[in-house]
Amino acid sequence: MSKTALAVAAVALLLAATSLYQTIVYQSSLDSLRSSIASALQNTGSTVTVTTTVVHETSYTVIGQQVSYSDLYEKVKNSVVLIRVITPFGGGVGSGFVYDEAGHIVTNNHVVEDATSITVVFLDRSSFDAELVGRDVDSDLAVVKIDPGDRRLEPLRLGDSDKLRIGDLVAAIGNPLGLEGTITIGVVSQKGRLLPTARGFSIPGVIQTDAAINPGNSGGPLINMAGEVVGVTTAIEPSGVGIGYAVPSSIIRRVVPALIEKGHYERSWLGIASLSMDERIARAIKIDITRGVLVTSVVNGSPASSSGLRGGSRNVAVDGRTIPVGGDIIVAVNGTQVNSLDDFLLYMEENTSPGMKLVLTVYRDGGFVDVPVTLAVRP
């Protein structure tokens, strides 16, 4: 045998031995992992599914039951509806979900705001005339009502959007482009987004997801893997791909009961223009406070004005933007720390009502000051 052939044979033998060794080590590690899990659960009586997948010789382990998207869909499909509207400008479709057995349906304000006729269509094609009960522009939520007659409605349960984690699986269910009963799967891409509304305010705490959302999905539920509503799909990023937004259930839980009872929602109002503090602004004005809410202006006659909150007194350029500075920096509300504008707006949305008295802790003139304020109704 030639030297070249001997060398090739030796290399082949070495590769085979290495592969066998890796397989033995991998199997040993897997057996050890299974033994550890079994030992840990021995006294609890629990069972657990262990799924191990090998990709390019790298293993990862998923502990827990696998999710069935089919079972999830079957659980909620009869509670998601298509909403067909006629407006002075034409027709359109959106989505919604059954809120209670009385026939209340939750959707987006922008789906029904100009409607002269509203029809609710279930997946089995049964349809019902609906009337507008209430709507709220600043959360983009609305409620319509049907008379279900003999039909047994299946309300969806509200989940806790505050407990969502980045990367959690979610499903968007609705009628994109009029395609009834469509489900798409994605993850919670991020939380705490600000979504501007038609009146110039922002919806705080908005959920960002990569579950496919298209025109017609508006008003439909964003569902967690327990089949609970954690958001209402509301918007997409026009210039992006795979970027959708949903109003969180923490806001739905406050707004919808008021819409059903009164037809509108009264939101607390402070009366400031503001933005999030960051290191760039802090460097520009030579302070150490890098988190909180910078008050840039105060509305005359507002609760903020009456309480003595201060807006900006001069302008500085930060990354090409002109920013009014010199105003108060809000760092806490009733002792709860706020790190950003979204933190502040979400606290105000979830925890305050008109007439409530608050104490704002602000950074002013090199020190911290407590400023009492009584909130009013947002005009």
- The residues assigned a catalytic role are 110, 140, 218
The torsion defined by the Cα of 222, 228, 231 and 235, in degrees rounded to 10, comes to: 10
- Extended strands (E) in 168-307: 169-174, 182-196, 202-209, 221-223, 229-236, 244-248, 268-269, 272-276, 293-298
Helix (H) or strand (E) holding 30: helix 3-41
Query: Which residue, among 96, 140, 149, has the nearest Cα to 118 in the 3D structure?
Result: 96
Which residues, in sequence order, are bridge partners of residue 362?
Answer: 330, 369
> What is the C-alpha to C-alpha distance for residues 107 and 128, in angstroms, rounded to an integer?
15
> What is the C-alpha to C-alpha distance for residues 330 and 348, in angstroms, rounded to an integer?
13
Under a CB-based contact definition with an 8 Å cutoff, are residues 272 and 295 in contact? yes
- Extended strands (E) in 249-353: 268-269, 272-276, 293-298, 314-318, 321-325, 329-333, 336-337
Most distant pair of Cα atoms in the chain: their distance: 99
The torsion defined by the Cα of 310, 312, 318 and 321, in degrees rounded to 10, comes to: 120
> How does strand 104-108 pair with strand 141-146?
antiparallel
> What is the C-alpha to C-alpha distance for residues 167 and 164, in angstroms, rounded to an integer?
9
Sign of CA dihedral 180, 185, 189, 192: positive
The full length of the chain comes to 379
> What is the C-alpha to C-alpha distance for residues 375 and 306, in angstroms, rounded to an integer?
10
Phi-psi region of 23 (alpha: psi -120 to 50; beta: other; left: phi over 0): alpha
